[in-house]
């Protein structure tokens, strides 16, 4: 299970909130020294305590859409990190050619080889009703049939009002057709620098403005109907178009495969917890579950020692 203490340390010491216009996020900008306590309270409020009254699945049933013949590691990393952070059940919906390899990595994952089936939408759609969150993109690839199947799955998930985390080739799919997700406020997109620039240019019509990355992330979020954007970089920026947060926790200088998959899996679990805590209680104009889950997620997986605390 993840170490809440390491998460709290990095939240308390390494984040700052940025107000948007006249709508500061919870506290005035000139009281930034108070922000760590505010963040600590927000994150602790949605991490569920263990209870003998819980049954299997209540801590989260997370689905991963991805995994093809070329890419079997990415969906494994996303699914296993969701489990290690604290969800109860982790499902991988992959192609038939990827299923055996992914099953061999861990007996804890539920691996379903439907993604390249002609009836993938219907087959996976029957599972969507029991899930809390879908993570779309780790190891997805760019095969046209698989991308078309994934679009169908996204539309079915939206009808179920299911929170979505979209990463990797899922972002390629969204860049091709942003209408799939525009205006769906339970979506979280996690682009790196290159993915962000491509999506920004698609939506806005020109490249991002200079060094004003916070402004750029706000612009993209609003252009996409206030979906939450987690722009990964030297400083990670979270925005839902109304509120913005910058995570300055020092991360590993390595840029190896699998880092983003860990983040998307952890974010899947945090998204379920945050939505469960906020959907019925948050006041209009306050931060929502998508943005709140991202606040908890980034410092958990970003620092090199934070990863060990969360993933051990």
pLDDT of residue 46: 78
Annotated binding site for ATP: 232-236, 251-260
Q: Which residues contact 26 (CB under 8 A, 6 or more apart)?
A: 17, 38, 286, 287
Tokens of 158: 């939206």
Could you give phi then psi for residue 138, rounded to 5 degrees? -60, 115
Annotated binding site for (6S)-NADPHX: 139, 192-198, 261
| Global pTM value | 0.82
Tell me the pLDDT of the chain averaged across its residues.
81
* Count of C-beta atoms within a 10 Å radius of residue 20: 18
Question: How much of the chain exceeds pLDDT 70, in percent?
Answer: 75
Annotated binding site: 139, 192-198, 232-236, 251-261
Q: Using the predicted structure, report yes or no on whether residue 129 has a pLDDT greater than 60.
A: yes
pLDDT in tens, 266-312: 999 999 998 887 664 444 334 555 555 555 554 554 544 333 333 33
Q: Using the predicted structure, report yes or no on whether residue 134 has a pLDDT greater than 90.
A: yes
Q: Which residues contact 98 (CB under 8 A, 6 or more apart)?
A: 67, 68, 69, 71, 72, 75, 113, 139
pLDDT of residue 36: 46
Mode of pairing for the β-strands spanning 61-65 and 133-136: parallel
pLDDT of residue 188: 95
pLDDT in tens, 150-177: 999 999 999 999 999 999 999 999 999 9
pLDDT in tens, 185-233: 999 999 999 999 999 999 999 999 888 999 999 999 999 999 999 999 8
d(CA 297, CA 140): 22
Mean pLDDT of 8-19: 42
* Domains of the chain, first to last: 4-44+55-311 (3.40.1190.20)
pLDDT of residue 252: 74
Single out the residue of 203, 206, 141, 196 nearest to residue 177, CA to CA. 203
């Amino acid at each position: 299970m993840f170490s809440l203490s390491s998460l709290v340390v990095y939240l308390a010491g390494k984040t700052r909130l940025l107000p948007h216009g006249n709508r500061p996020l919870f506290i005035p900008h000139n009281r930034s020294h108070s922000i760590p306590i505010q963040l600590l309270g927000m994150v602790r409020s949605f991490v569920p305590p263990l209870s003998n009254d819980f049954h299997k699945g209540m801590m989260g049933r997370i689905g991963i859409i991805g995994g093809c013949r070329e890419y079997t590691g990415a969906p494994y990393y996303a699914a296993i990190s969701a489990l290690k952070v604290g969800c109860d059940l982790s499902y991988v919906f992959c192609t038939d050619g990827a299923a055996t390899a992914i099953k061999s990595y861990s007996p804890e994952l539920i691996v379903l080889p439907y993604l390249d089936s002609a009836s993938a939408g219907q087959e996976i759609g029957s599972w969507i009703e029991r899930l809390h969150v879908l993570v779309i993109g780790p190891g997805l690839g760019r095969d046209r049939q698989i991308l078309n199947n994934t679009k169908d799955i996204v539309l079915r998930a939206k009808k179920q009002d299911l929170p979505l985390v979209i990463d990797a080739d899922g972002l390629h799919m969204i860049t091709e057709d942003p209408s799939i997700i525009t205006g769906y406020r339970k979506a979280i997109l996690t682009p790196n620098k290159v993915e962000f620039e491509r999506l920004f240019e698609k939506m806005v019509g020109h490249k991002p403005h200079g060094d004003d990355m916070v402004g750029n992330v706000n612009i993209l979020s609003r252009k996409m109907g206030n979906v939450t954007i987690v722009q990964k970089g030297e400083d990670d920026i979270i925005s839902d178009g109304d509120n913005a947060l910058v995570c300055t926790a020092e991360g590993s200088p390595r840029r190896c495969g699998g880092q983003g998959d860990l983040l998307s899996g952890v974010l899947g679990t945090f998204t379920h917890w945050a939505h469960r805590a906020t959907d019925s209680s948050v006041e209009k104009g306050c931060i929502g579950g998508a943005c709140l889950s991202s606040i908890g997620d980034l410092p958990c997986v970003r620092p090199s020692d934070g990863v060990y605390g969360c993933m051990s």
